[in-house]
Structure 1
Amino acid sequence: MKVLQNMKVKDIINRKVIKDELFLLKTNIKSLILSWRITRIPYLLSIILVYFSYIAMPGLTFNSLPEYEESVVSLIGYANLGISLLIFSVLAIRRILDVNQKWISGFVIVAGIYTLYTNYLNYSPPILAVSYTEDSLITSMAVNLNIWVVGLLILSLFPSNECDNDYGLSNCIEKVGSNLIRIDFGGFEQFLDEFSLYKIVPIFKKVLSLDLFNWRGRISRGELIYYYMVYQIMVLLLVILIYSMGTILSKISLEHIFLIFIVSIFLIWCFIYVLRVLIQRLHDSYSSAFWVFGLFIPYVNVYVIYLLLVKGSWQYIESSK
């Protein structure tokens, strides 16, 4: 059993196969549990994304509900606040552990007590107020998290401890079985230097062939720009095609059927194309394709966005610990 496990790890690291998504998902979760450190840039973006989720979640929730009562409004408000506070707290703890300075812990505790004492967090009901008309629905939270969020953002100013400590490996290093991988967060300047429109040609060849159904490759953060450009070009070509058909076939009764057929094919292509890009970007950040489902789960989607847009590409480290 142990030999099989090591074979899976080597296959994934050597990029020969990435087909056991469940094994990769377990590896991702294990990495989150083992290492409680989070560096400055991921921490900063996480705080911002969670804060916007806290603001937007009530409106998104009620827009999806046909009917709701005052008790439901209050429950969603408390749940949204509780989840947000929990995530903020976990992020702050992980950032403090990454800095590895004890005095920062005391500073955060004192700041938190002061925030509660000055009642910036107003827990008096109703926490969530909803007003709506025939054309719009507006939700507002009675709890003011602005001061607290500003305090949490200050933690992103402290530099990380570059060495291993009791709470995890050094920056950008993750353990996979008995092996180590490095995930770098930089490299955008290099992408700008190497940027070329000629690189979209191979992408066209892939997405217009059966290679569209191949999800085992990798796409870096920079390459997402090329794939987005290809998508926009395809949309432009579709618009030109529909306009041309509308002009040429205006007198043919089958025009409407042709248009529906072409648009349906394009929508199917878009779904497969976007799914392929998301999976390959997740694999590039050493994450399981199962994280795609997290895009539909509140607050989990914040972490998935981080995996897709922020977390860098991984590379194998020969030495092990």
Structure 2
Amino acid sequence: MFGFIEREQILLKQNVYDLLHNTRIGRKAFLFILVGVFFIYLLGNIHINREATYDLYWYYVRYLYKLLGVCVVYDLCRRRLHDFGVSSNWLFLWLLIGGGIYTYYFWSLYSYPLLPVRFFERILLAELGILFIPTVLLYFLPSDVNRNRFGDSKVQMISSTCAIGYVATKITLSNEKGILEYLRDIYLYRSFKVTGRAKIIEAGIGVGSLGTIMSLNVNILALLLMIKSEIGIAILEPISWAIFYILYFYTLFAVFTLLIRRLHDSLYSGLWILLLVVPFANVFVFYRLFIKGSWDVNSIKEL
């Protein structure tokens, strides 16, 4: 167990090094992450603004959340400009103009204190226009196919000095297994296996089947409780609930280990799975889980 955690930490450090030194992002990753960030920003602001009208605590959370969203969008734009091959200094002009527009609406809040709802509606639309409309236009910038000083968005940077775990297994793109065979591996043979790799198709099947299996689990519980009511044996009820919770957590754990193996397949540490509960960061993890391709470690390139 300690050896596994140590390998994950080594791989995590290398992933962070890659993110800091390879400051480019391709068009596919840029679009996926931008769409995810947009919906998280929109839904989060709607919820926080509603709570802020009743609780002073959410009033401060609102601005921290907005600032976090701006930082995430700024970094996406910076990496997209780098992929185009130009400096990100041009973003300061965008921040200056956007900050001026935002200041105008902020001033409107104090000029018309009796219209907080109207202000929130206007400020939300203004933020969408300031943040996301100019950002979407960056998608149409072509990528610089040559290596430049900002890194190479097509190649994972691998350290030549430390041994990275989970890269020694040759994989192929051929999906030689059927759906039932993948389900058998996910929920039976490899349900407790946190090492190794899993391809995108396995992650899709595992997550896609989660709802069906959970529904089956509920039906089993209902059947057992019906049998208990017919027979009248009281001890069957706690047994039925125990079976339900065992199957429930077993299914979740099987999918959890599957997602860790999928991260390994994209040459990322399984510790990134913890960011699934962190707003904005979870979009990045979703990209690694369901969009990023497998890596052929013999040539260190994405398949």
TM-score scaled to structure 1, two decimals?
Answer: 0.73
Deviation of 1:113 (Å): 4.4
Q: Report the 3-state secondary structure (helix = DSSP H, G, I; strand = E; otherwise coil) of the residue aligned with 2:25.
A: coil
**What fraction of aligned residue pairs are identical, expressed as a percent?**
21
Q: 1:304 is matched with which residue: 270, 285, 295?
A: 285
One-letter identity of the residue aligned with 1:227:
G
Deviation of 1:269 (Å): 0.5
Q: 1:276 is matched with which residue: 234, 247, 257?
A: 257
One-letter identity of the residue aligned with 1:50:
V
User: 2-side partners of 1:315 and 1:243: how far apart?
Assistant: 46
User: 2-side partners of 1:282 and 1:141: how far apart?
Assistant: 40
- Tell me if 1:167 matches 2:154: no
Deviation of 1:75 (Å): 1.6
Query: What does residue 263 of structure 1 align with?
Result: 244
Q: Report the 3-state secondary structure (helix = DSSP H, G, I; strand = E; otherwise coil) of the residue aligned with 2:157.
A: strand
Q: 1:226 is matched with which residue: 198, 205, 213?
A: 205
Q: 2:225 is matched with which residue: 229, 246, 249?
A: 246
Deviation of 1:258 (Å): 2.1
Query: What does residue 138 of structure 2 align with?
Result: 155
Judged with a 3 Å threshold, the aligned counterparts in structure 2 of structure 1 residues 215 and 140 are, in CA distance, closer, same or farther, namely: farther
Judged with a 3 Å threshold, the aligned counterparts in structure 2 of structure 1 residues 84 and 123 are, in CA distance, closer, same or farther, namely: farther
User: 2-side partners of 1:246 and 1:269: how far apart?
Assistant: 21
User: 1-side partners of 2:208 and 2:180: how far apart?
Assistant: 8
Which has the larger strand fraction?
1
Deviation of 1:32 (Å): 0.3
One-letter identity of the residue aligned with 2:142:
P
Check the 8 A contact 1:204/1:230 in 2, yes or no.
no
Query: What does residue 135 of structure 1 align with?
Result: none
Deviation of 1:45 (Å): 1.9
Check the 8 A contact 2:48/2:58 in 1, yes or no.
no
Judged with a 3 Å threshold, the aligned counterparts in structure 2 of structure 1 residues 281 and 54 are, in CA distance, closer, same or farther, namely: same
Check the 8 A contact 1:55/1:141 in 2, yes or no.
no
What count of residue pairs does the alignment treat as equivalent? 278
One-letter identity of the residue aligned with 2:22:
S
Structure 1 unaligned spans of 5+ = 1-16, 132-138, 182-189
Judged with a 3 Å threshold, the aligned counterparts in structure 2 of structure 1 residues 177 and 245 are, in CA distance, closer, same or farther, namely: same
Q: 1:177 is matched with which residue: 147, 159, 164?
A: 159
Deviation of 1:241 (Å): 2.5
C-alpha RMSD over aligned residues: 3.6
Q: 2:8 is matched with which residue: 4, 17, 21?
A: 21
TM-score scaled to structure 2, two decimals?
Answer: 0.76
- Tell me if 1:97 matches 2:82: yes
Query: What does residue 207 of structure 1 align with?
Result: 187
Q: Report the 3-state secondary structure (helix = DSSP H, G, I; strand = E; otherwise coil) of the residue aligned with 2:296.
A: strand
Query: What does residue 54 of structure 1 align with?
Result: 41
1:124-143 equivalence runs, <5 A: 124=107, 125=109, 142-143=123-124
Q: Deviations over 1:57-81 (max 9, x none)?
A: 356669999x9743x3332122112
Q: Deviations over 1:182-223 (max 9, x none)?
A: xxxxxxxx88xx697x332343255235x3111112222222
Q: 1:34 is matched with which residue: 5, 17, 21?
A: 21
User: 2-side partners of 1:221 and 1:40: how far apart?
Assistant: 19
Greater Cα offset, 220-229 or 26-35: 220-229
